[in-house]
């Protein structure tokens, strides 16, 4: 009897506690809004000529800068850590705002990704550095773009075009650094799962309400 109690305390109780707290986090945590109602993208050129909009999509938004080939590792990190896991989610897109003149560099990177990834949810739009900087400023973030109109950070924008992140003083986070794979595997993946949970819970709630009607 004592042996069974000891085994329960050592092995079963920690698992039960973990499941309890994990379910609590998933049920009650909501990722804060950092900037509400950011502007939609302008009528900018895209790599494949399609209209790219932030409306009604969960968007991972980034700014490539003009040194796209030099910084291509950032896109590969994001592709490996986040994109490949979730790109089949139909309401998700990955959007990079790029300076005009970087089209060939972006195409070569996309061709390389296409060898081992379905790249259909990657979208690249192109405009002038001035317009890129103006767009970034209206996000009202603490950071800034570099001299090449780019940053290694990416941002989560929800379907209502609210930029989401962490607001707590000790873990304030507007964006997620693609230069560091650990940041993507830890902070970004955690926050991204919260966003997905929000929408899945909302879909389930709406579905149940429809069934009652």
pLDDT digit string (tens) for 103-115? 999 999 999 999 9
> Can you give the residue range of the structural domain that contains 44?
33-212
Which tokens sit at 91? 């309401």
Residue 195 CA to chain centroid, in angstroms? 9
Which CATH number does the domain housing residue 86 bear?
Answer: 3.40.30.10
Q: Is 8 domain-assigned?
A: no
* Confidence check: pLDDT of 15 > 70: no
What's the whole-model pTM score?
0.82
The residue among 210 and 50 whose pLDDT is bigger is: 50
Q: Are 132 and 149 within 8 A, CB to CB?
A: yes
Residue 87 domain-assigned (yes or no): yes
Question: In total, how many domains does the chain have?
Answer: 1
Q: Which tokens is 115 given?
A: 């060898």
Return the pLDDT at 213. 36
- For residues 190 and 186, give the distance between their C-alpha atoms in angstroms, rounded to a whole number: 6
In a domain, residue 17? The reply is: no
- Residue 9 counted as domain residue: no
Q: Is residue 99 part of a domain?
A: yes
**5 in a structural domain:** no
> Would residue 10 count as lying in a domain?
no
Contact of 20 with 104, CB cutoff 8 Å: no
Residue 4: inside a domain, yes or no?
no
């Amino acid at each position: 009897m004592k042996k069974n109690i000891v085994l329960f305390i050592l092995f079963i109780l920690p698992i039960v506690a973990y499941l309890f707290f994990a379910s609590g986090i998933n049920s009650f945590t909501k990722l804060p809004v950092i900037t509400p109602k950011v502007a939609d993208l302008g009528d900018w050129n895209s790599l494949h000529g399609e209209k790219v909009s932030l409306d009604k999509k969960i968007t991972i938004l980034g700014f490539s800068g003009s040194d796209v080939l030099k910084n291509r590792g950032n896109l590969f990190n994001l592709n490996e850590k986040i994109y490949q896991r979730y790109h089949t989610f139909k309401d998700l897109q990955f959007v990079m705002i790029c300076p005009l003149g970087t089209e060939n560099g972006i195409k070569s990177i996309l061709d390389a990704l296409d060898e081992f990834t379905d790249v259909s949810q990657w979208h690249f739009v192109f405009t002038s550095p001035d317009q890129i900087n103006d767009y970034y400023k209206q996000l009202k973030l603490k950071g800034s773009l570099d001299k090449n109109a780019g940053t290694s950070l990416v941002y989560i924008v929800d379907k209502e075009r609210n930029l989401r992140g962490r607001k707590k003083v000790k873990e304030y986070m507007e964006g997620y650094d693609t230069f560091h794979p650990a940041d993507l595997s830890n902070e970004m993946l955690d926050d991204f799962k919260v966003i997905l949970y929000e929408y899945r819970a909302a879909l389930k709630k709406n579905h149940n309400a429809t069934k009652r009607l």
